[in-house]
Structure 1
């Protein structure tokens, strides 16, 4: 009798294990299927709607991708499931690439139709494209490159000083003063005496030249106003 009970008990455990495994596989299959359906739903949504809700779409996609990849471990035919995931990933990647290309094209078109910001053009000319914005943040200038920054600034001014308007001179003055203010910080970070002397020489040459040219621009502006 005990032997029969033992056999029945073992059989029951085996059936239970098989049943549990079957349930986990079924759930994994549902997870993979849900992932495929989600990607297809995103692919079929209107492009305008996809663009408007892309951030939430991306969050949901990443979550469902993680869930589907985790579910692979529960499937017997893992290779087939992986192939299904890769197919859906490729669909999503194609859509994302298309939307990003359209967004970039729209951005470039807008930039082309927008009049250039003259102040930003000056900042780019003096310090390099995109390095300085309206906030005049010179945190990228340090003891190793500050001499070059001053030297480039002086050369740019000397090369184009005859082309500037009074407004240009005002912006150049603001940039120069902001750079000078940051120099105080750089000095505390270990600016060498040699570089400091060279910067002083550049400042000595720049100051009177800037003052003279700015006065000329103001006089020219006043003269035009009288005409």
Structure 2
């Protein structure tokens, strides 16, 4: 009787091991299937939608891939499963390349660049600080836009803004010295002089005022 019970116990334990092994294999197959299906599903997503949600898509992809690879050892036919995983990896790389080609990364516009765009026009002055586009024919208009824009927005500028305005103003004046030798008319020169006469004290007063206001706020 005891011998019989012993055999039954061994059989039950063996069946338990087989059951656990089957469960692990089933789970492993499921993880591989989920990975392959997920990659296939990404292909069906519109490029624009995929680009807008790429970080999330890639995060889930990494999770599914890790789960699939971690369970390969539990599969009887691990070689075939590995081939499926590799095929999906290659497919995903193709998709990711498409995303990189289609995605146009727009550089962030700094507050300094926004100020320059407002004073001179969109993209006229960049980090190279080149005023080569300013010539005898347009320099009066450039001064007008610059000075009138600064006057209209003077109450909203910070000290850093006024520092930048001063820097740009001096650079424009330097370009004017060159343009005067390249055919600047006396009439335009007089108009520019009148604008400068009005603006010079304004930039000085407002720059000092913005600095004082910042110091007051810092104390408070």
**Match of residue 47 from structure 1:** 94
* Residues 1:137 and 2:184 are matched in the alignment: no
TM-score, length basis structure 2: 0.55
Alignment of 1:15-26 (within 5 A): none
**Structure-2 residue corresponding to 1:155:** 148
- Relative to the length of structure 1, the TM-score reads 0.53
Match of 1:203 among 178, 196, 209: 196
Residue in structure 2 matched with residue 33 of structure 1 by the alignment: none
Taking the aligned partners of 1:166 and 1:139, their CA distance within structure 2 comes to: 28
Structure 1 residue 46, shift from structure 2 partner: 4.3
Q: 1:182 to 1:47 in 2, by over 3 A?
A: farther
SS of 2:114 mapped into structure 1:
helix
Task: Count residues in correspondence.
Answer: 130
Unaligned runs of 5+ in 1: 1-43, 52-97
Partners of 2:111 and 2:177 lie apart in 1 by: 28
User: Aligned partners of 1:124, 1:49: CA distance in 2, in Å?
Assistant: 35
Structure 2 vs 1, CA of residues 45 and 220 (structure 1 numbering), >3 Å: closer, same or farther? Answer: closer
Q: CA deviation at 1:45?
A: 10
Alpha-carbon distance between aligned partners in 2 of 1:165 and 1:202, rounded to the nearest angstrom: 22
Q: How does 1:10-159 map to 2 (within 5 A)?
A: 46-47=93-94, 100=101, 102-104=102-104, 107-108=105-106, 111=107, 114=108, 116-159=109-152
Task: Give distance in 2, aligned partners of 1:226 and 1:132.
Answer: 36
Distance 1:123 1:225 in 2: 27
Give every structure 1 segment of 4 or more consecutive aligned residues whose post-TM-superposition deviation is greater than 6 Å: none
Q: Does 1:170 pair with 2:163?
A: yes
* In structure 1, distance between residues paired with 2:152 and 2:179: 27
- Consecutive unaligned residues of structure 2, counting only runs of 5 or more, are 1-90
Give SS of 1:204's match: helix
- Distance in structure 1 (CA, Å) of the matches to 2:158 and 2:200: 17
Q: Which has the larger radius of gyration?
A: 2
SS of 1:191's partner is: coil
Q: Over aligned residue pairs, what C-alpha RMSD do you find?
A: 2.1
Q: Structure 1: how far apart are the matches of 2:151 and 2:97? A: 51
